[in-house]
Chains A and B, each alone.
Chain A
């Protein structure tokens, strides 16, 4: 109990500790004789909250003290007199990894997919791989058949021009015999999206093969879009399927603008 109490006292702002720590410990010794340790620990916890949250003066004093010592060198700080054991870092790292693995695993199983702003497991994987590509500067679309078609589609989409999209569709999108009006409907939908969200900018390539490319793009309003293009394997490389999906993720996730 005394160890917990001492720890709570040490977490108090320095100015407060320097003035009252000794007395509070003395008070604890007196009160402990009457079996009131638990009450004292609750009191110290409330005091800790009050000192940091309600008594901002101490934070300012501490900040001033730190600023006066600061010489411009980046550094880490620990609470004075508390020096974590080296093993603590190992344990902390292991716990962080286990928690991270657990969250990713739950996400992959779809158990927390409805969490606001969260991604599904595959999306998390794609996001990290995409982040890696952005970090390393690998963002350009490879000159594969679907890559070329996607580049041309983005140019046509970003023109915001109906005639340009019509021309693109007539040249590169395969006709659906069962639903001949589908292409026209899609063009209308793209124009509506363009007028509403603005041009798309490529942010990340998630998959790039000889017949399929999947990319993430971001619109002017920071919405994220996934674009999937499937092309035929013959020489014409016509677009068999093009899916443009608004991901409805939180702004600027996973990549800043």
Chain B
């Protein structure tokens, strides 16, 4: 477990997690990511362009996200981004981590341990 190379990317920050989730289904441009993040969180988490591109830069550097080329004239001002294979694995690993945490939290809430006196 300690040798798992994905561990160095975990845990993902909320912004990073939302961006990767937005790109999990399909490739999107920056504004599309922002809209999808708002949709995922039912409007509770608003990602600004500054935060978005700062995180995208980091993800591109880490190789978790890659730019995809679109040559249509209409889309010339926009770049599209998609997950790489390793990006998808990192997202899956973080979701697994979150699932474990949520499972444990629920168990603790259902069966609270008796307090020591």
Contact = CB atoms under 8 A, between A and B. Distances in A.
A183 to B, nearest CB: 72
Interface stretch (A15-23, A147-155, A211-219): A15-23
Interface string A34-53: 00000110111111101100
B48 A39 contact: yes
Interface stretch (A24-32, A84-92, A234-242): A24-32
Contacts, number: 62
A43 B31 contact: no
Q: How large is the interface on A (under 10, 10 to 19, 20 to 34, 35 or more residues)?
A: 20 to 34
Nearest to A47: B50
B31 A26 contact: yes
Interface string B3-35: 000000000000000000000000001110010
B40 interface: no
Nearest to B76: A22
Given A30-B31, A39-B48, A24 B53 contact: yes
B85 to A, nearest CB: 23
Given A19-B53, A47-B51, A47-B54, 17 more contacts: A16-B54, A16-B57, A19-B57, A20-B57, A23-B77, A26-B30, A26-B78, A27-B49, A31-B49, A39-B46, A40-B48, A46-B50, A47-B48, A47-B49, A47-B53, A50-B54, A55-B54
Interface of B: 29-31, 34, 46, 48-54, 56-57, 77-79
